[in-house]
Amino acid sequence: MTSSMSITKLMRRSVHPAGLKQGLGFTSTASVVSNTVSQTSSTTASELMSNAEVKTGWQTVLNAVENYNLGQPSCGPNAFLVLGSPGSGKSCFVGRLMMEMLDRKASLEVNADQSVELLNSSGDVLDGSSSIKRARLQNGDVLTLHVKQVALAATKRGIFGGCSAFAAVQGDGSVVTWGDIAHGGDSGAVEQQLQNVQQIQESGGAFAAILGDGSVVTWGSASYGGDSRAVQEQLKNVQQIQASGGAFAAILGDGSVVTWGSALCGGDSSSVQNQLRDVQQIQASSGAFAAILGDGSVVTWGDANSGADSSAVHAQLKNVQHIQPSNGDFAALLDDGSVVAWGWRESYGDNSGAVQQQLKNVQQIQASGGAFAAILGDGSVVTWGSAPYGGDSSAVQQQLKNVQQIQASAHAFAAILGDASVVTWGYANFGGDSSAVQHQLRDVQRIQASYNAFAAILGDGSVVTWGDADGGGDSSAVRDQLRDVQRIQASYHAFASILGDGSVVTWGDAHGGGDSSAVQDRLRDVQQIQASRDAFAAILGDGSVITWGGSYQVAAAPVKGAAEDLAMALRASKS
Q: CA–CA separation, 119 vs 291, rounded Å?
A: 32
DSSP secondary structure code for residue 125 in this structure: B
pLDDT, tens digit, for every residue of 438-484? 999 999 999 999 999 999 999 999 999 999 999 999 999 999 999 99
**Average pLDDT along the chain:** 75
Listed in sequence order, the residues at least 6 apart from 138 whose beta carbon sits closer than 8 Å to its beta carbon are 572, 574
Question: What share of the chain has pLDDT > 90, as a percent?
Answer: 55
pLDDT: which is higher, 164 or 369: 369
What would the pLDDT profile of 372-422 be if each residue is shown by its tens digit? 999 999 999 999 998 999 999 999 999 999 999 999 999 999 999 999 999
The model's pTM: 0.74
pLDDT tens for 322-337 read 999 998 899 999 999 9
Task: Dump pLDDT digits (tens) for 241-280.
Answer: 999 999 999 999 999 999 999 999 999 999 999 999 999 9
Give percent of the chain above pLDDT 70.
Answer: 67
DSSP E strand boundaries for 272-370: 279-284, 288-293, 298-302, 320-325, 329-334, 339-343, 362-367
Tens of pLDDT, residue by residue over 523-552, are 999 988 988 888 898 988 877 888 898 754
- Burial (0-12, 13-18, 19+ Cβ within 10 Å), 297: middle
Domains of the chain: 89-148 (no CATH), 451-574 (2.130.10.30)
pLDDT value of residue 155: 79
H or E element in which residue 49 lies:
helix 45-49
pLDDT exceeds cutoff 50 at 154: yes
**pLDDT confidence tier of residue 58, bands split at 50, 70 and 90:** very low
| 187 or 105, which is more confident | 187
Residue 38 half-sphere exposure, CB side, CA atoms within 13 Å? 22
**Of 282, 283, 231, nearest to 258 (Cα)?**
231
Q: Diameter of the chain by CA atoms?
A: 76
What is the pLDDT, as a whole number, of residue 150? 72
Written as one letter, the residue type at 165 is A
Which pLDDT belongs to residue 127? 63
230: three-class secondary structure by DSSP? helix
pLDDT in tens, 28-54: 222 222 222 222 223 333 333 333 333
* Angstrom distance (rounded) from CA 32 to CA 39: 19
pLDDT at 74: 32
For 525-564, give the DSSP string: SEEEEEE-SS-EEEEETTS-EEEESTT-TTEEE---S-SS
The phi, psi pair for 556, rounded to 5°, reads -120, 110
CB 166 within 8 A of CB 138: no
State the pLDDT at residue 164: 78
